Structure 1
Amino acid sequence: MIMQFNPNIMATFPPPVMEARRWIEGVEFPADRPLINVSQAAPVDPPPTALREAMAQFVLEDDETHLYGPVLGLPDLRAEVASQWNVAYGGDIVEAEVAITSGCNQAFAAIISTLCAAGDEVILPTPWYFNHKMWLDMGAITATPLETGDGLLPDVKAAAALITSKTRAIALVSPNNPGGVEYPSELLGAFFDLCQTRGIALIVDETYRDFDSRTDAPHDLFTRPDWEQTLIQLYSFSKAYRLTGHRVGAMVTSMARMAEAEKFLDTVAICPNQLGQRAALWGMQNLEEWLGEQRSEILARRAAIDAHFPKLAAKGWKIQGNGAYFAYVTHPFDERSDLLAQRMVHDIGVLCLPGTMFVPEGDPSGDKSLRIAFANIDAQGIAQLFERMETL
């Protein structure tokens, strides 16, 4: 029997985090030098105790927790997102312009399903978030790379030059994964103007908005006239409330696009995780102070990266971006980053992702870069990380 496979799936690269985990299989790490894992940008701690207690009550006392719910999510959660976003961004978002999804990745997949057919194009700044690239590849949609250079900020004029008759959207991530950089409000505004003028969508993935170092609104896009005709915002509750295993994300867009996305969501998952949605709502209403403390901790780790990096800079390393959960660095060795990353497992007990996983094949910038995801190591752990990297 001949096994048949979808050629688009076969042509898609393996999940990078899972691929990296294979590098540590069978490797023994001594007790005095345990593995430092900075490969995945997700909290490993469970939700705070108060939230888990609330979740237990939902499981025991709210029978609706165990049943199908609305395809576009719990109305109360959608309304809460709209309300809090209006305060944060100064906009006028309504509940019907918010949908809850099974994680932010599903939000991206749903939005792309409403925008693109096979053969269409989406512009992605490089280094890009690999799951965005993977989803486009699976749908035979061309990911057009937009190089960002040393500062990791995309250029609007360069993006304009890449737009063709097949371009359907530009997708940005801010704070950025993998680069860590926060896109200035003016830059996001310029991309909005470009997309609005050219009649394409602007997708802004703000998964890490809760850990942005700025205290003011990161952009004014929700205040723009007819924003919903151009802007599509994506968000994740996983990072804010440690709900990674419950898969809760959100998207904000026009009601017309929401009606089309509903078809995709109903077919794939029917409804988002009911317990996760209730947990997200409870978190939004009760954990503002706790979330502020988490933000302060992440900002302290970002500061620790800056404080300890000079010891690597003295050896030829450079830092390109640092923020949210990530530092993106270039190494000084005459060695491809994917080979260096595997050597780091054995030589210094560190697991990180190489830049080759975030750029098109053959892009030389990937050979020199590494992503350090510091969400799960504190300032002391960051100091140990750099001590080990200094010995390479």
Structure 2
Amino acid sequence: MTDTVGPRTEVLRTGPIRYATAERFGRPRPVPDDDPRPASGEIAPQPPSRLDFVMGPPADVHPQGEDCLNLSIATPARDAGARPVLVWLHGGGFSSGAGLMDWYDGGVLAAEGDVVVVSVNYRLGALGYLLLDGVSEGNLGLFDQVEALRWVHTHIAAYGGDPTDVTVLGQSAGGISVRLLILMELPEARGLFRRAILQSAPLEITARPAAESHALGRYFADALGTDPRTADLPALLAAQGETARHHLRGAGRRMEPAFIPVEGVGPVPAPGGPPGDGVRGLDVLYGWNADDMIVFMGEDDDAAVRTREVYEEPLTRHAERLARAGARVHAYRVDWRPAGSPLGAAHCLELPLLFGTRDAWRSAPMLGSTPREETERLGRALRSAWLGFARTGTFDGLPAPLTDGPVPGPS
């Protein structure tokens, strides 16, 4: 494996920075360069994560509010270095999480790889993905992500980054978002990144047909009992929770959120179409964790079978389509099972390795009794692989014990 990681240096952390503003249920608007207001530091309104039993509850607390279109930046220097840029889109089932959380501090990546790391907030739940006639057009969280990438394209040179050398990466719902960003045909979304990394993206639930989303939107409005445009946030979150329970009772799919991207609406293409011309020449790294589905298991589920059905097979099919359209694709699989953890190579396991934010992950049950030294050693190996891909578009695989055998890729 090519070692792209140099000695660790000090980094500058900047943020929160407001990259856009939006009225409730409106599309984001770029922030004028002369806007004097400081960023709020808010994250999207959200309930507690349903994966606290895997990741542990976050150690840091941020204010929640609708002025949440903020990002943070970690950079070795604000100079003319023209470094590769990594833009992170967090997971959380389109209903929880935030780029501003300490989990996703890009400082270690920036220092080890001499890169610029941008971590992005975007709207979640009903505020980001409600589809309801006369109220919300849907997919607003995806419009937020596009606006964040446009901000990076315009401003990142001032933070030591190269706007022509951007890798967008995301995990779980963030990985689904990366897939949709790849496929978007919006003129304003073109040319904003040259490489993409999809981590444990459950592509079988990428987007929902508009008719189903409309029905859930109407249920949400009935559960809310008042105008969504003026309701207070606790009421919105309560109705969102009731809609999620209704969806689970009807659909029976435990891991599928009530509010997700909608097919054929705004930036999301209709299903079944071929990838656009923008895919040609794109470098893509995708993969999954060997026991991803263990945290979403039903009573009669087999974790290995469901991981193959939900992650491996859809990701591989997607990679095959991208390769036929002219992308260069690479696959990985994380097989490492931490000592003392009953969760194995669970969903989210690669995150503390990727970010190296040890204190933020110190109470994560998925890490079991693994000594900090081992987590750091494996993290350096995984970060080296990701940074090498971000710099060159090549990927030499992961060493044992991160991976213990050949990884199936596109045929």
Q: Which structure has more RCO (C-alpha within 8 Å, separation ≥ 6)?
A: 1
After TM superposition, the score normalised by the length of structure 2 is 0.25
Structure of higher CA gyration radius: 1
After TM superposition, the score normalised by the length of structure 1 is 0.25
